């Protein structure tokens, strides 16, 4: 269509398919902005950028907008009002696009005069706040088309677009390598849609803490209980197919706990590859946080009630700044019961531990993951205490939002969080345990990736190779002294391997 533009034309637009801009037909007593005839709808717009720059459009639209705002103090249709005001003064800039390229389905639309049947439509535009609830003689057919579109695999569309490949810089991988799933997954450029739903962060505090988490479609129901336990900001990256996105939206809108929340930021990462990209998801959730501190938590945990306020109190009490290399540890526990009364405080939690309702997290299968938290000290402590890092330590921590990101080479199950804490240690972070705080892990079916880890020796060897590569890189960058304990542990592992 750009080839059809006349020399002075810079914008391609379809005429508005309602009488909104005709003053005699204006709706609800609202005062429409000036427009040429019925005006133009900006839902579909061609912009000849070079010509717009030459004409100084960046200044001209601002000048026109200020002039109109002097007697109409606000817009009703945002940028569309401004564009129409400019076109009203400069009608020669518009190239009129044929109407089927923007069939507008508002409540007062006259779009059905544009086409004889639905097969002649190029683009459907649900431009009413009521979306698919509007009246139209073909509305049922349009809804079916919309559902079909939602179920398309966007990754297929992405690969078919000419020219996209040259913009992607994913590293090559060896198809014959036994570790090709790791190598391929680490290089995928995932389609990512931040802020899927409306998000509002309006309460800022220098000690505020946002909870960041991630999940796949199977764990989405866990979000409801998490939201009840954490009233503060939540940033969550969700790993979904295109078709699953609509189901997720339906879930949120049908949830009494979630639909009214505006301080939960949902970011969709579209499925691609064989293994769950857990660290890419974590980084995505961390990247869209406004609060100065972040609490990194997996979605299968529940924080104690009041933990948000408690952590903020400790950040303030300890004088932790955004630039400090400090990680605050919230001790982790678990239960094997699907139903139990959540402990109201530390005193009640200690009783649950004594009765065998709760356990320290993974004490029976992965002791080293949380042993450095020093639970024996935590039981009787009333003040924060510092602990030393040990190899394989992976506590749940609060850090500044400027903290390093996770290494995205770690996908699937195994060492994805250990690698992060190891990196923090190499950077000189210190670890402080908060004495009267806790989180509790909820039981659930194991993921597919943990099944691979448990049953596939090749998977474990590939993970071990990646771990060794990661440790070697850290030691080369920060020096062996920064991770002397890890060096000894790695040496011991190699000796064990040689004796097998």
Tens digits of per-residue pLDDT, 205-254?
999 999 999 999 999 999 999 999 999 999 999 999 998 998 999 999 99
**If pLDDT is split at 50, 70 and 90, which confidence band does 170 have?**
low
Q: What is the pLDDT of residue 448?
A: 83
pLDDT band at 96; cut points 50, 70, 90: very high
Please check the confidence at residue 160 and state whether its pLDDT lies above 90: no
pLDDT of residue 25: 55
Domain count along the chain:
2
Is 179 contained in some domain? no
Q: What's the CA gap between 70 and 345, in Å, rounded?
A: 58
Residue 416 lies in a domain: yes
If asked whether residues 93 and 228 sit together in one domain, one would say: no
Task: Show the tokens assigned to 333.
Answer: 């526990």
Residue 171 in any domain: the answer is no
Residues 85 and 191 in one domain: no
Flag whether pLDDT at 255 surpasses 60.
yes
Domain range for 127 is 2-151
Q: How far, in Å, CA of 72 to CA of 35, rounded? A: 13
Do 206 and 120 sit in the same domain of this protein? no
What per-residue confidence (pLDDT) applies to 489? Answer: 55
Domain boundary among 151, 175, 197: 151
Tokens read off for 273: 């590859």
What number is the average pLDDT over the span 361-383? Answer: 93
**346, 432: one domain:** yes
User: Which of 139-153, 156-170, 314-328, 330-344 shows the lowest per-residue confidence on average (mean pLDDT)?
Assistant: 156-170
Considering only CA atoms, which of 63, 85, 76, 87 is closest in space to residue 13? 87
pLDDT, mean over the chain: 88
pTM of the model as a whole: 0.76
Whole-number pLDDT of residue 79: 93
- When mean pLDDT is compared across 88-97, 345-354, 462-471, the lowest value belongs to 462-471
Asked if residue 348 belongs to a domain, the reply is yes
CB count within 10 Å of CB 53 equals: 11
Structure tokens at 302: 């529940």
- What is the percent of the chain with per-residue pLDDT over 70, rounded to a whole number? 92
């Amino acid at each position: 269509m750009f080839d059809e533009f006349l020399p002075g034309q810079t914008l391609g637009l379809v005429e508005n398919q309602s009488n909104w801009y005709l003053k005699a037909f204006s709706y609800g007593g609202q005062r429409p902005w000036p427009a040429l005839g019925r005006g133009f709808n900006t839902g579909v717009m061609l912009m000849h950028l070079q010509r717009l720059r030459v004409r100084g459009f960046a200044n001209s639209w601002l000048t026109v907008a200020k002039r109109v705002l002097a007697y109409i103090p606000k817009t009703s249709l945002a940028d569309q009002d401004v564009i129409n005001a400019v076109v009203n003064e400069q009608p020669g800039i518009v190239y009129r696009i044929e109407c089927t390229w923007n069939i507008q389905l508002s409540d007062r639309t006259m779009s059905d005069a544009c086409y004889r049947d639905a097969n002649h439509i190029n683009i459907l535009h649900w431009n009413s706040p009521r979306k698919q609830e509007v009246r139209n003689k073909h509305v049922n057919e349009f809804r079916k088309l919309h559902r079909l579109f939602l179920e398309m695999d966007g990754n297929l569309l992405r690969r078919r677009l000419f020219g996209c490949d040259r913009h992607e810089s994913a590293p090559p991988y060896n198809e014959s390598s036994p570790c090709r799933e790791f190598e391929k997954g680490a290089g995928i450029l995932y389609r990512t849609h931040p802020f899927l739903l409306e998000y509002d962060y309006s309460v800022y505090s220098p000690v505020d803490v946002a909870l960041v988490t991630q999940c796949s479609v199977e764990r989405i129901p866990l979000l409801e209980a998490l939201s009840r336990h954490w009233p503060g900001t939540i940033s969550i990256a969700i790993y979904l197919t295109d078709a699953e996105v609509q189901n997720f939206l339906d879930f949120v809108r049908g949830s009494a706990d979630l639909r009214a929340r505006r301080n939960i930021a949902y970011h969709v990462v579209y499925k691609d590859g064989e293994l769950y990209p857990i660290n890419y998801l974590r980084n995505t959730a961390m990247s869209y946080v406004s609060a100065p501190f972040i609490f990194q938590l997996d979605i299968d945990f529940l924080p104690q009630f009041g933990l948000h306020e408690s952590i903020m109190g400790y950040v303030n009490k300890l004088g932790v700044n955004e630039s400090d290399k400090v990680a605050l540890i919230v001790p982790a526990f678990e239960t094997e019961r699907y139903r139990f009364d959540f402990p109201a405080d530390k005193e009640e939690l200690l009783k649950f531990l004594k009765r065998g309702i709760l356990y320290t997290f993974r004490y029976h299968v992965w002791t080293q993951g949380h042993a450095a938290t020093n639970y024996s000290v935590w039981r009787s402590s009333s003040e924060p205490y510092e602990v030393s890092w040990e190899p394989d330590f992976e506590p749940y921590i609060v850090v500044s939002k400027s903290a390093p990101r996770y290494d995205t080479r770690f996908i699937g199950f195994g060492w994805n969080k250990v690698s992060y804490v190891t990196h923090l240690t190499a950077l000189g972070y210190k670890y402080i345990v908060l004495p009267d705080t806790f989180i509790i892990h909820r039981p659930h079916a194991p993921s597919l990736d943990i099944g691979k880890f448990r049953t596939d020796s090749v998977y474990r060897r590939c993970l071990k190779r990646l771990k060794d590569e990661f440790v070697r890189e850290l030691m080369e960058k920060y020096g062996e002294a920064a991770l002397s304990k890890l060096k000894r542990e790695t040496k011991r592992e190699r000796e064990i391997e040689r004796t097998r």
